[in-house]
Amino acid sequence: MNLPLHAQIINLCAALLLLLAFAMLTQRRIRSLINLFSAQGLVLVISTLTVAYATHQTHLYYSALLTLVLKVMLLPWIMHRLIRKLNVRWDVESVLNIPATLLIGIVLVIFAFNLAAPISQFSDTIAKSTLGIATACIFLAFLMMITRRKAISQVIGFLAMENGLFFAATSATYGMPMVVELGIALDVLVGTLIFGVFFFHIREKFESLDIHHLEKLKER
């Protein structure tokens, strides 16, 4: 195996993304969860910059900048502020226990790798082999949304899923068109703000952020 250096760096970033996705899956504290999300964003920025440098795609520099501002700085800051205001510092409760979640996670990773293998053969980008990891990241974020009870960690799962999608886009096709990317970035930002408002309403109604309370249709 003799890949060029930038391909190796992208592969390393992909591996780190997967590692961070698993770390988020096992993390019990909400604050650490947000820090991990921010770290995932940073790895994403580095890999996007590497792809941009290696392939001379100038628009990727802009999307890397967008990711840096939005996912590494702005969104974590908003989440930290939300947590301070909502006063939810306690541990995250998950539906399944953590070892079981990890085992399901490994199965998902194997599934994702097999799923992506035939697709990445048709791709001729430098980072084609990372498509499997990007798919695995999406699945893991999805798993996190399913297994967590608190609304905030579900939103972080949603944002992490967007990270995975973004990585899949850069690795398979050198990124989406700028308009689409800007649209998604705006969506994510507005989505988080709206979720923030929702959190306040959920808490006001049920005095808790546990989604479990939303399952009953009738009021008492």
- Give how far Cα 189 sits from Cα of 54, 69, 83, Å: 29, 11, 17
- Cβ proximity of 130 and 121 under 8 Å: no
- When the beta carbons of 113 and 158 are compared against another protein, the nearer one is 113
C-beta of 133 vs 155, nearer to another protein = 133
Task: Please write down the HEC assignment for all residues of 62-110.
Answer: HHHHHHHHHHHHHHHHHHHHHHHHHCCCCECCECCCHHHHHHHHHHHHH
Residue from 210, 191, 206 nearest 151 by CA: 210
**Binding residue for another protein, selected from 65, 73, 95, 106, defined by CB under 8 A:** 106
Residues numbered 109-138 forming contacts with another protein, rule: CB under 8 A: 109-110, 113, 129-130, 132-133
**Amino acid at position 57, single letter:** Q
Q: Does 104 bind another protein (CB under 8 A)?
A: no
> Is residue 188 a contact partner of residue 159, using CB atoms and an 8 Å limit?
yes
Residue 12 as a binder of another protein (CB under 8 A): the answer is yes
Quick one: 123 or 208, whose CB is closer to another protein? 123
Whole-number minimum distance, CB 182 to another protein, in Å?
31
> What residues line the site for another protein (CB under 8 A)?
1-3, 5, 8-9, 11-12, 14-16, 18-19, 22, 26, 98-99, 102-103, 105-106, 109-110, 113, 129-130, 132-133
